[in-house]
Structure 1
Amino acid sequence: MTKDYLTGFLPDLDEFREKTIQFHKGELSVAEYKKFSGGFGSYAQRGGQKHMLRLRMAGGRLTKERLKFIAESCGKYEIGRLKMTTCQSIQLHDLEAGQLCDLMKEAWQAGMISRGGGGDFPRNVMATPLSGLQKEEYFNVMPYAVAAGEYLMGFIKTVKFPRKLKVCFSSHPENETHATFRDLGFVAGPNHTFDVYAAGGLGIKPSLGICVAKNISPDKILYYIKAMVETFVTYGNYENRARSRTRFMAEALGEDGFRQAYLKKLEEIFALHTGKAAMDSKSDEALELSEYMDLEEYKEAVRPVTKQEVPIKSHILSDERIFPQRQEGLYAVFYQPAGGILTPDQAIRLYHLIKPMEEVEIRLTPKEGLYVVNCSAAQAQVILSATKDSAQTLFETSVACIGASVCQVGIGDSQALLNACIKRVRQEGFASGVLPKIHISGCPSSCGTHQIGKIGFRGGIRQTPEGPRPAFAIFTGGCPIQGREVLADMGKLILAEDIPEFLTELGRMVEEEGMLYEEWTEKYPEKLNELIERYAG
């Protein structure tokens, strides 16, 4: 870590320990504790007896050293499960209160700072997971995400934000990180520059981002981040938490008004740090990336691997979970357990698999999966064979938040629903693509990104003659792809118990036409609507 944040953060653990003791003594309410503990990347789980810890890692880079720490901690602290998130972080679940501070301290010392992992702080910085390795990308954005992550941690103890701030980088039009509709997104272009989008986001009143700058030099990203911080602090809503995210600034100021406010802050920051104004000022904050850190060192840390091996001629290398990297002879292997839930045994197995493999690491995806990257052909086959419990179809890669059985604010049990749907759909043997990837969130917060799925579900309650029953509102037609972004509107509620059969019937309808879902829904949108109406009752 370039900056010595660890020294500044470690003393905070004394207060965290004391607050946790007070919470378990009943001296702090759930809401009071949540407001404090979120700033440490930790929340009490539903029921208040167990805890989770969210580890931030910029760009989702789960290095061998980090995975070793997690694998060893699973045994040492009897961790119940691990959850890969849509923000490219890992959550450690089912922790005892007495374990929490020690585990947190050790994680920080291992390079995984949880500070600011929740609460009103800059969150984990995201990046296209295969950046630097993907053949079709514009350029490698991973070093810039790492630099941004380092820089943003400097605000955790110095700036009071109205709410959380999510920053991300995209290197490819697939837009996996949702860079065109985050609080602040840097979108790579073919001329090795970024377009900058701001004030977007999912959740309550979702919004696409506003383009505030085009063709900026990657070396200037910290100026643009600083401008967003100052705009948020100046115009963000500190009075009403329901309207405190950055997208509500754009609503209050108007698109042009927000853009002008942001660009004014940007102009002031450039003036303060460049030219005569900089010479006359006393600002000692470094915003040039070359001044802030050794960028070449960070490029080296995620360097393209030069080892080469002649690919083994095997049908295995044509498997849909293996992706040739831009580096000749190297491969990435995709792995996704259902719902992004890793068991301790799976995490330990992954570590021992990659431990002897030179320069191999893991990249977490924004869709709750992971890639094992920089594998030779032989290594890729080993990883593929050892991860047969991975999702086998597009539908089985579906996204689900941790859900109401664990989350304090959850309404619907997202994981239970996804598992029930996968179990039912597997009985039909549909080809991959007959059903799309679905996105399930337990509440309106959209942690399962239900608003950008071809099909999304959001937890709720439906009134029936027998009384209120668990249900999920359906969302259809969402799309995150750059230039084709669509945020889906909420549809009707379907009872949770009926959704597996709804999806099964949908799959049969698609299969009967000899199509895949994407083609079918474009040709027969009325059939989808009729099916929804029938199940929504």
Structure 2
Amino acid sequence: MSDDLAHEIDIFEGQMELMGQGKLDEKVFAETRLRRGVYGQRYDNGQRHDGFESRELAFEEMERIKGPDTLWHAPGMQRIKVPGGGLTPDQLDMLAQVADEYSDGILHITTRQDIQLHFVHIEDTPDMMRRLASVGITTREACGNSVRNVTCCHLAGVCRTEVFDATPYSEAFAEFLLGHDDVQDFGRKFKPAFSGCEAEACGLVMMHDIGYLAQVQEVDGKPKRGFKVYVGGGLGTVPHQAKVLSEFTPEEEILPLAQAVSRVFARLGEKRNRNRARIKFLVAKLGIEEFRRLVEEERKTLPHDDRWTAYMDTLPHYEEKPSRPPTFLNGQVRSSEFNQWFETNVYSQRQEGYSVVTVNLPLGDLTSQQTWELADIARKYVGDNVRSTVEQNIVLRWVSDSDLPNLFEELKEIGLGDSGAGTIVDITACPGTDTCKLGIASSRGLAGELRTRLTAKSASLPDAIKDLKIKISGCFNSCGQHHVSDIGFFGNSRRSGNFKMPHFQVILGGKWHDNAGSYGLAVGAVPSRTVPEVVDTITSRYVEERSKGETFQDWIGRIGKKEARNIIQPFMQLPAFEQEPEYFSDWGDPRVFSLGDIGIGECAGEVVSLFSMEISPAESEAFEAQVALDENDPARADALAYSSMLKAARALVRTQFLDVGDSPDRIVQEFKSRFFDTELFFDQYAKGKFGQYLLDRHSNTNGTPDNDAAHRLIEEALLFIEATHACESKVGGNVLVEI
């Protein structure tokens, strides 16, 4: 574990202690934990609706909270970042361990290639983070108003149609922006993606805040790598297709471009109204031409950073190493079960003699025991070449072809041998009402029902519909990516008499290929219980009416929204509760349906000022300094107290000057010139006394402090931090970029 990462976790643990003592604002702590992937979960407000009224759930210390309307001892969710989905067997082992010890023993793969664990207690999260960090996994900025997990095509590097392998570029992007100063003041989350080819789904760059599509251009007679860059895409309630920011950005410019985009978004993006705070709204408001101009101007002001191109030195040597030599399947007759699995779950790599195997995970779940066993299988056949996918599966890359039959048998033995990957039975679904506080209808319950029914008749399904995509979200926020599926659903409700009934809005004709090339049409809402029949009716009509070679998207476009609505119209009728009581409960949930369990969403966290976020670690370090002194370690106490003052000063300086950096000399210099010499930091009665504490300690680098000296410095640090709060309140927290 790196020292920086270890220190980050120590700070978070200190902030937990401060929160427990009531010394940290609940909104600031909520954003703090979200930026470490510690997320709320359904029922964490201590209430659960039984279908008729809310009932209290008994948790320890009901008055103690970890955020607005969120009880401290209620279990929550831990999101774990997996950049590009890349995993090793050792990491799988550790994920299995922490899932087994700290959660309900289920690992859930998300549509961003992350891993989520549910029913995790916040007290366990620091230890979990340390154990994950020991194998190179972080949870930092997995949630909150931050740069989320960087997705990359799971076939990158082995794809038969890619321009070049986007993997090392996505890794460099993730490393560069993790914790970067310029991405700490967003109004909402920021989702990046990388793709190696235009025609496939790959990284789905068209639906991302920023997306990079691999390109090669001839420059001075030589091929030059770069990317076509898109910006301002996004799904959610109001889906936006990304706009082209740059037709070709050379590889050495992709990181400074991302930094410039981040600065423009942080400076001009909406902060108060979170419903309009994604970058897609800023791009739409300004127009792509003006947004491009602002980014280009911002790029000119960026101070040089060696990290922009440092990763390029390793590019010529970047490669994955297969565990076994290439081989080929012989002509031996295989079982029909293997042949079916081979047809849907095996992709022939561009490297002859190797294949990618998709481990199909129903609902994106696998148990901790399966994860341990999968790690052993990976060690045996593919080594470190494992990735998660945006369709909530796992792939094993570089499988030597003659190993495929044995690999299939071993996957079957651990319950991971399902065929149908990438077909109509491989349904994507968000957690929905199982665990999400925003879930309206049971996306997982519906997905499970559809999968069961479609799998039972998969052998007889017409070829035209076998590869259709079905994606389901529990609400309008599109975590299940319903907008880019052939047939999509998102949860809502309708009233019939005195009762509410779970419904799903039907979305038809979205495009998964061409990097999420177009979004589907909303044609109407149907009761949840009718959705299986709706799917049967729509697919049957398509098979009957399609022209030769006509895709589902083309067919929907041809018949139009009005006729598409007519197809589902018979299912839109609402029966009375007395006639069809089963319509008033959701899939897998016997309770009478209600909206009483919907809570405050934490998808983006509270919008907290940059100063509030950056002063919080200063307060945590001051607290740690007191602990160190109690442990009779005055040298460490002194260092922590001094560090807390520097962090507080830096937080204040960055309200005016973002590029102050981390150098203590520079921080003190900027603090002195901007706030001390101008007397902005002065107290009405104490004048410059509190600011002088920092200046004196910074100039005093001699000697080893004793307990008394360390104690005095801690007191001075606490007063200095309070003074920074007062100064920020007095001058306002507007972040101005100095050019």
TM-score, normalised to structure 2, is 0.65
Question: Are 2:15 and 2:29, in contact at CA under 8 Å, matched by a contact in 1?
Answer: no
- Identify the match of residue 488 of structure 2 among 448, 451, 456: 456
**Match in the other structure for 1:325:** 349
- Could you tell me how far apart the structure 2 residues matched to 1:499 and 1:516 are? 27
Deviation of 1:402 (Å): 1.0
Deviation of 1:440 (Å): 0.8
Deviation of 1:177 (Å): 2.0
Structure 1, unaligned runs of 5 or more: 274-284
Query: Which amino acid is the alignment partner of residue 76 of structure 1?
Result: E
Matched, 1:14 2:4: no
- Could you tell me how far apart the structure 2 residues matched to 1:369 and 1:193 are? 29
Question: Are 2:265 and 2:279, in contact at CA under 8 Å, matched by a contact in 1?
Answer: yes
Question: Per the alignment, do residues 302 and 164 of structure 1 end up closer, same or farther by CA in structure 2, a change over 3 Å counting?
Answer: farther
**Match in the other structure for 2:65:** none
Deviation of 1:331 (Å): 1.1
- Could you tell me how far apart the structure 1 residues matched to 2:469 and 2:18 are? 41
- Could you tell me how far apart the structure 2 residues matched to 1:139 and 1:393 are? 23
Deviation of 1:383 (Å): 3.0
Matched, 1:46 2:46: no
User: Which 10-residue stretch deviates more, 208-217 or 389-398?
Assistant: 389-398
- Identify the match of residue 404 of structure 2 among 367, 372, 380: 380
Query: Which amino acid is the alignment partner of residue 319 of structure 1?
Result: E
**Match in the other structure for 1:529:** 565
- Identify the match of residue 177 of structure 1 among 203, 206, 211: 203
- Could you tell me how far apart the structure 2 residues matched to 1:325 and 1:536 are? 45
- Within 5 Å, give how 1:23-422 maps onto structure 2: 34-48=30-44, 49-77=74-102, 79-155=104-180, 159-173=184-198, 174-191=200-217, 192-269=225-302, 272-273=303-304, 285-290=305-310, 293=311, 295-296=313-314, 300=317, 302-303=319-320, 305=322, 308-314=325-331, 318-357=342-381, 359-385=383-409, 386=411, 387-391=416-420, 394-422=423-451
Query: Which amino acid is the alignment partner of residue 276 of structure 2?
Result: R
Deviation of 1:4 (Å): 5.6
Identical positions, percent: 25
Question: Per the alignment, do residues 483 and 320 of structure 1 end up closer, same or farther by CA in structure 2, a change over 3 Å counting?
Answer: closer
Structure with the larger helix share: 2
Question: Are 2:141 and 2:179, in contact at CA under 8 Å, matched by a contact in 1?
Answer: no
Question: Per the alignment, do residues 355 and 383 of structure 1 end up closer, same or farther by CA in structure 2, a change over 3 Å counting?
Answer: same
Deviation of 1:16 (Å): 5.1
**Match in the other structure for 2:220:** none
Residues 468-501 of structure 1 show CA distances to partners (whole Å, capped at 9, x for unaligned) of 2111111111114338821224331111111112
**Match in the other structure for 1:494:** 526
- Could you tell me how far apart the structure 2 residues matched to 1:423 and 1:517 are? 28
Query: Which amino acid is the alignment partner of residue 375 of structure 2?
Result: Y
- Could you tell me how far apart the structure 2 residues matched to 1:528 and 1:489 are? 9
Deviation of 1:104 (Å): 2.0
User: Which 10-residue stretch deviates more, 222-231 or 517-526?
Assistant: 517-526
**Match in the other structure for 2:510:** 478
Question: Are 1:394 and 1:432, in contact at CA under 8 Å, matched by a contact in 2?
Answer: no
**Match in the other structure for 1:446:** 478
Query: Which amino acid is the alignment partner of residue 288 of structure 1?
Result: W
- Could you tell me how far apart the structure 2 residues matched to 1:514 and 1:152 are? 47
- Could you tell me how far apart the structure 2 residues matched to 1:376 and 1:489 are? 42
Q: Name the Cα RMSD after superposition.
A: 2.9
Deviation of 1:414 (Å): 0.9
Residues 213-265 of structure 1 show CA distances to partners (whole Å, capped at 9, x for unaligned) of 12221122111111111111121111211111101111221232222222221
Any idea what SS the aligned residue of 1:86 has?
A: coil
Question: Per the alignment, do residues 478 and 521 of structure 1 end up closer, same or farther by CA in structure 2, a change over 3 Å counting?
Answer: closer
Any idea what SS the aligned residue of 1:396 has?
A: coil
Deviation of 1:35 (Å): 3.6
Aligned residues: 516
Residues 489-523 of structure 1 show CA distances to partners (whole Å, capped at 9, x for unaligned) of 43311111111121133344445569999646644
- Could you tell me how far apart the structure 1 residues matched to 2:236 and 2:546 are? 35
- Could you tell me how far apart the structure 2 residues matched to 1:226 and 1:521 are? 37
Structure 2, unaligned runs of 5 or more: 45-73, 218-224, 574-739
User: Which 10-residue stretch deviates more, 123-132 or 250-259?
Assistant: 250-259
- Could you tell me how far apart the structure 2 residues matched to 1:393 and 1:244 are? 33
Question: Are 2:464 and 2:543, in contact at CA under 8 Å, matched by a contact in 1?
Answer: no
Question: Per the alignment, do residues 9 and 502 of structure 1 end up closer, same or farther by CA in structure 2, a change over 3 Å counting?
Answer: same
- Could you tell me how far apart the structure 1 residues matched to 2:382 and 2:357 are? 15
- Could you tell me how far apart the structure 1 residues matched to 2:474 and 2:372 are? 29
- Could you tell me how far apart the structure 2 residues matched to 1:57 and 1:514 are? 41
Question: Are 1:332 and 1:380, in contact at CA under 8 Å, matched by a contact in 2?
Answer: no
- Could you tell me how far apart the structure 1 residues matched to 2:277 and 2:348 are? 43
Query: Which amino acid is the alignment partner of residue 79 of structure 2?
Result: R
Question: Are 1:202 and 1:446, in contact at CA under 8 Å, matched by a contact in 2?
Answer: yes
